Amino acid sequence: MSGNPTTAATHFRCGQVAIVGRPNVGKSTLLNHLVGHKLSITSRKPQTTRWNLLGVKTGADWQALYVDTPGIPGRYPVPLNRHMLREVKNALDGVDVALHVIEALRWTAADAAVRDRLRDTRRPVLLVINKIDRLADRAQLLPFISGIFKSGGYDEVVPISARNNESIAQLEEVVRKLLPEAPPAFPEEQLTDRTERFLAAELIREKLTRRLGDELPYSLSVTVDRFRATGKVTHIDATIWVESAGQKAIVIGRGGKMLKAVGEQARGDIEKMIDGPVHLRTWVKVRKRWTDDEKALRQFGYSG
């Protein structure tokens, strides 16, 4: 997933595009459709995304460096929230274009807070109104958009349905025109700067998040302890971290059924990602109050 950038074409455009918004507005689904590959994990649980995730999309004379960011504000303990806020700040520090994703016909105080934060970037900001597929009458969008635009802060608005891939091409064209002239930052075939090891851990966490209740996913983390190819098979050892013995029992499930199902689903997605067979082994371990422990956060990759 790495290499030397291609030779820049005349008037080539390249820039960083931050995808920001409050939790559960569809930022990760949007990233996956923009790049045409599943990079960012998704679920109906708010704040599934915990790290910035780069997705590279290269056209004939342009390259967009899309960055999926954690949703803010959060329900996590202060140290983990601080990590996610830092991730958003890092994405905005070098941004060339920002996409503020909101839900159709829903504007909250959290949305307003994101808009105010984006004003400080002094870069083009697009209002991306997602989930329009849920509207019975799309004519309702006009007064909704008008009311938001009166407050200022946006250069353009693009209504979309990320789930149905509706108007994604239109959004991409608007972004392309706003990118600065610059050579490509990555080779044409590169999709992300993240390792397969990182993506494998995220896929395991996705399956857990989708299967478990409303509270437990916020106490979960996954680390990959071994990622090694032996012949045609990639061997992966992963640890699922929880905060209590009770949570451990839930993750394992009666007779190990939950953990087995999670492993089978995750293995399938990882095999698609690396295009080869995978032998996945998982363990569940307790690290009390890890979400509130700076040392544990660093160990699990939430710092730096």
CATH number at residue 69: 3.40.50.300
256 and 135 belong to one structural domain = no
Domain carrying residue 31: 13-178
Residues 148 and 19 in one domain: yes
Same domain, 171 and 211: no
Q: Is the dihedral of CA 292, 297, 302, 303 positive or negative?
A: positive
Distance CA 254, CA 251 (A): 9
CATH of the domain at 255: 3.30.300.20
149 and 253 share one domain: no
In whole angstroms, how far apart are CA 206 and each of 12, 177, 238?
36, 34, 14
Q: Is residue 274 part of a domain?
A: yes
Note whether residue 269 is domain-resident. Answer: yes
Q: Last residue of some domain: 178, 204, 226?
A: 178
Q: Is residue 187 part of a domain?
A: no
Q: Are residues 174 and 206 in the same domain?
A: no
pLDDT in tens, 16-58: 999 999 999 999 999 999 999 999 999 988 889 999 999 999 9
Cβ distance 84 to 72 under 8 Å?
yes
Identify whether 167 is part of a domain: yes
Strand segments, DSSP code E, in 170-299 are: 221-230, 233-242, 278-286
Query: Residue 7: inside a domain, yes or no?
Result: no
Specify the pLDDT at position 1. 46
Report the distance separating Cα 263 and Cα 251, nearest Å: 11
**Does residue 227 form part of some domain?**
yes
* Position 40 in a domain: yes
151 and 50 in a single domain? The answer is yes
pLDDT of res. 94: 85
Tokens of 97: 């274009």
Instruction: State CA 192 to chain mean position distance.
Output: 12
Sites in the chain below the pLDDT cut of 50: 1-4, 6-9
pLDDT in tens, 216-248: 888 999 999 999 999 999 999 999 999 999 999
pLDDT at site 151: 85
- CA 152/CA 166 separation, integer angstroms: 26
pLDDT on residue 75: 60
- The domain tally of the chain equals 2
Find residue 235's DSSP bridge partners. Answer: 228, 279
pLDDT at 133: 97
| The Cα angle at residue 41 between residues 74 and 288, in degrees rounded to 5 | 55
The b/e string for 269-292 (b: 16+ C-beta within 10 A; e otherwise) is bbeebeeeebebebebeebeebbe
